[in-house]
Amino acid sequence: MSDQNRQILLRRRPQGLLAPDDVELVTSPMPELHEGEALARNLYLGMEAAMRNWLTGSEGGYMEPVAIGDVVKGSSVSEIVETRCDAYEVGDIVTSLGNWQDYVVCQDDILTTKVARDVEPQRYLSLYSSAGVTAFLGMELGAPNEGDTVLVSAAAGGTGSIAGQIARIMGAGRVVGIAGSDEKCTAAVEQFGFDSCINYKAGDLKAQLKDHCPKRVDVYFDNVGGDILDVVLGGIAPRARVVLCGAIASYLEGKLPGPRNYTNLMSREATMTGFITFNHWDRFEEIFGRLRGWADDGRIRVREAVFDGLERCPDALNSIFTGGNIGKAMVKL
């Protein structure tokens, strides 16, 4: 084990995509353990769109912003390499807020969860951690009924790709995706089992929505917000359920335009609900069991966009906003 810990620190608030000068890769001394702590070596670092808000200093979120000079926050799957905590043994695999660094100090708290050793570590980022749990919780709120049309934005991303598959498992009659390229639409249909997928960059989204969802939209799992949400609200069915998972369209510019079509929620007796996965982490074991059963049965497929090396963290995060990833974006250390 090294006696040094590489870390990526935030040096300035990003404007647009994360630029090289916004962060700095440094080498720090290995942290000293105290009683009740364990040292974990990060194996994979997960990338989530919400990390943008942590970097820009946006307030009101579920996680405190990253302070200038601090290690960039982010999820991880890690191996315990040293312990002074009764909850962990050397060799245990944990999911944690490991941040952009080689090693992290863990405690027995809500931020760190010990997981099974017989699962490939990266699966805890692409399926069994935030991506899969978020997809499950959101689709549980949407509650698709038999025959319902379910629409999922960012359908080829880490969360959207799983949400569409869960919708099918829950009984949806038709599952349609929205993505930003023909390649992503092909992946949504051929790899993740969507019935069809709309390339929102290919033309009139309103017209495409009518073609792909002729019976309107009963459940909309929204990852992007912005103009796409507005168009979809114009095409919801009576008693539709709109589930707000994320707002990728607004994270780079920090603008949060309100949808003009929100009155359709009234006229069609529909609902729009938001949720925070972190507030439901007490259900991890339950949801893990459901997801693992479906994966073992071949009912859920995942794809991982893996970047090699700690220094690739900015590229991996940017890929979520440039359309450079299919599936869950992560960094292998």
pLDDT tens string 205-245: 999 999 999 999 999 999 999 999 999 999 999 999 999 99
Q: Is 291 a member of any domain?
A: no
Does one domain contain both 114 and 141? no
Does one domain contain both 151 and 122? no
For residue 201 the two structure tokens come to 């960059």
pTM (predicted TM-score): 0.92
pLDDT at 110: 86
The dihedral over CA atoms of 295, 176, 245, 76, expressed in degrees to the nearest 10, equals 40
Does one domain contain both 178 and 271? yes
- Residue 46: beta bridge partners? 330
Question: Residue 251 — very low, low, confident or very high, per pLDDT cuts 50/70/90?
Answer: confident
pLDDT at 60: 54
Supply the CATH number for residue 110's domain: 3.90.180.10
The total of structural domains in the chain comes to 2
Question: Residue 35 — very low, low, confident or very high, per pLDDT cuts 50/70/90?
Answer: very high
* Separation between Cα atoms, residue 302 and residue 292, nearest integer Å: 12
Average pLDDT on 63-89 reads 95
pLDDT at 59: 63
Average pLDDT, the chain: 94
Q: Is 288 a member of any domain?
A: no
The dihedral over CA atoms of 261, 174, 49, 328, expressed in degrees to the nearest 10, equals -170
What share of the chain in percent tops pLDDT 90? 82
Q: Is 285 a member of any domain?
A: no
- 122-144: pLDDT as tens digits: 999 999 988 999 999 999 999 99
pLDDT at 103: 97
Question: How many Cα atoms are found within 13 Å in the side-chain-facing hemisphere of 307?
Answer: 22
Supply the CATH number for residue 197's domain: 3.40.50.720
Question: Residue 282 — very low, low, confident or very high, per pLDDT cuts 50/70/90?
Answer: confident
Strand intervals (E) in 186-327: 196-199, 217-222, 236-244, 271-274, 304-308
pLDDT at 63: 77
Does one domain contain both 118 and 166? no
Domain, as residue range, for 61: 4-127+302-332
Phi, psi for residue 330 in degrees, rounded to 5: -155, 165
Does one domain contain both 161 and 256? yes
Does one domain contain both 150 and 245? yes
